[in-house]
Structure 1
């Protein structure tokens, strides 16, 4: 009980000081990860209670945030104007998996190529929550901020099919079984999107119809949106697909049907969505970080640092070749790819499908990556954002200060 009281007061204090703290090197993920570790080590949070809460909170957070992140993406606008996030998602993400695979294979010799590819895929998704001082800092021009937001909102959903297929292949390779695992993985990544598309399109159409008949209101629309996310997740499980991919696709379809006519999609992400994310970081810190830290080896640390300093920066640099992104912006994007909830939750997701000898390696790698990223990207976010903003401001009429394709930015977004 005393641990929960401390969590309550720390959360309240952070909210009261959030604006001032956003200008410092202390971020919410850093705070709640550290708080979870501290309470766990002090014995103020029950290990059994943490284990009971971690999986349901993590799954609920991931389902809802995947749905809402996707629902905020205007696919038509992304096709027409957002060349930077397009390149980072469609070119940079596969390159990061490829480079990360070879880095893992070289640095952790006992891993097979498939295991290294799975680890690389889990380390690919980025989390804007760990770099909020960047994506919310008005010193950083709108176009780079929007590119990072779009990339972080979509790359976890795009990486998930690769993670599931590779987990299935690793399990098959280790067990020398038939193609059962591969068929399972294919069903997950084919039937999941179909279930999600059905729920998203039907839900979006139903919402627009209800609004035209004035039979709903903003408060009820929000509850309905969360219910759609849960429905997409559960329906996919019934038909044999993956619920997380289903929730992501449902969000994409829902958002592009309603086209901004559901305010809850944006408001929840700023309020209740933050609470879910903070709770997940707290539980990860309390339940997983101490053990992961105890199993941090030099090869594992080398792979994590290679992911931060070599794999993503090189992949992003190459993906933006031929665009109007300056060298400075390409370096800035390459560094600000913090790893957060998706990395931890995807590792938990595939844990039961992996051979026993690799379960702990993958989980410890993911959790150590998250807390190291929280520290490195957290302490550099605010000062680097200010420095980048000053450097871009000195250049005046540069691409970073202009909307893409020379088009005006509508409604400031």
Structure 2
């Protein structure tokens, strides 16, 4: 009977979102907030039971899939060449701001939460990366969007889910659960340098080669047309698996594969306005557009991105409803009452302000970048990753309660504030927008 009820509830939820999604966008709340409420309500009614420690392996896989799908989408959205100065803002956020946040959270963990250093580093690493799934409302929605705020936050979310991994491994190492070597040499050589380079290299190589092969077959032989959904899933799985095989970071590989596929489209478009090429591709017959030398790159990139974004929304529903179920049986820790405000109102804005010092961003943009550090599915993945890699006992329980409830607070406060703040940002006078861009 429970299975039937679940089918009905999920079906009603998805149909309601399809019919009322445009209305919801005008309200001061996000779709994630609605999914969270549904999951929590079902959990309190006894409609489903999940335990973070008992089902850690399943939850790790679920969140892992959601993150890699979203990272691939993030890469496909970012059309600017890597030498473009806009990337510097994303890099400062993904590296500088995130490292500072890890350090500050670790300090709070040791001094205020009484955690051992390794556990404090883990807490910092888990809660520092911004989320590529739940932050979609403040990210690039149009690949031709020139806005520095949206581009910076999208690039940050795409990069820092991978760049947080070395600190997760460091925390595990300090707890004796991962080999870091004398003087941390192994951690620096393998977990920082090699894994990062291997992940980016594998993703870039596979994205380039698979994309070029598909375009060659389509333009010269009129083969490999249709089923762009399989191309998206195949490239995600291939780049992620290959990166893990050579001990690289799969998150960075998937993001790099999306960037590489978009780079192929940008390179083939040349001096022609990309939007005109894409619009022309959409207006043609699918087979004609997919095999046309002029339109095939744009058609391929847009078809893959369109499918991937739909899949991303489905993953968001699944993971956030599951989070609501988990909350129903997870005690609320009193420390969240001060830890969440400290993270969102002090540590994140401070880290962003320091990292963006001297950057070509307006004060308004820096304030919004500091505020929209949404925590979400990436943090959940890292939580279940460490549970599956030896963290147990009282420490595991403490991390579970802190992370689940801090993520929940993020979904609530950022979900309520995103619509009015972004609407106000978008309505700035045109001259001010141009000066800030």
* TM-score range normalised by the length of the shorter chain: 0.7 to 0.9
- Structure 1 gaps of 5+ residues are 405-413
**1:122-141 paired onto structure 2 within 5 Å:** 122-127=126-131, 129-135=133-139
8 Å Cα contact 1:85-1:147 kept in structure 2: yes
1:159, 1:54 → 2: CA distance? Answer: 19
In structure 2, the residue matched to 1:397 is 431
1:229, 1:83 → 2: CA distance? Answer: 26
State TM-score, norm by structure 1: 0.82
In structure 2, the residue matched to 1:382 is 419
1:285 is aligned to 2:321: no
Shift of 1:267: 1.0
- Structure 2 gaps of 5+ residues are 267-296
Cα distance 1:182–1:236, how it changes in 2: closer, same or farther (>3 A)? farther
Shift of 1:186: 6.0
Match of 2:25 among 6, 19, 22: 22
1:235 is aligned to 2:242: yes
Deviates more, 1:328-337 or 1:155-164: 155-164
**1:290-329 paired onto structure 2 within 5 Å:** 290-292=328-330, 294=331, 296-329=332-365
Shift of 1:275: 0.7
Shift of 1:43: 2.1
**1:176-187 paired onto structure 2 within 5 Å:** 183=186, 187=190
1:270, 1:67 → 2: CA distance? Answer: 9
Post-superposition CA distance 1:233-275 (Å, at most 9, x none):
3334444445444434444445445546422342134312111
- Over the residues paired in the alignment, what is the CA RMSD in angstroms? 3.4
Cα distance 1:182–1:299, how it changes in 2: closer, same or farther (>3 A)? farther
8 Å Cα contact 1:135-1:145 kept in structure 2: yes
1:358 is aligned to 2:395: yes
Q: How many residues align?
A: 393
Look up the SS of the partner of 1:291 in the other structure: coil
In structure 1, the residue matched to 2:171 is 166
**1:320-339 paired onto structure 2 within 5 Å:** 320-339=356-375
Structure with greater proportional helix content: 1
1:195, 1:93 → 2: CA distance? Answer: 19
Post-superposition CA distance 1:160-192 (Å, at most 9, x none):
23223332333349xx9977x985896555357
Shift of 1:331: 1.6
In structure 2, the residue matched to 1:223 is 230
In structure 2, the residue matched to 1:64 is 69
**1:116-127 paired onto structure 2 within 5 Å:** 116-127=120-131
2:29, 2:241 → 1: CA distance? Answer: 37
Post-superposition CA distance 1:82-126 (Å, at most 9, x none):
443233223222222222222222220x21233222211211111
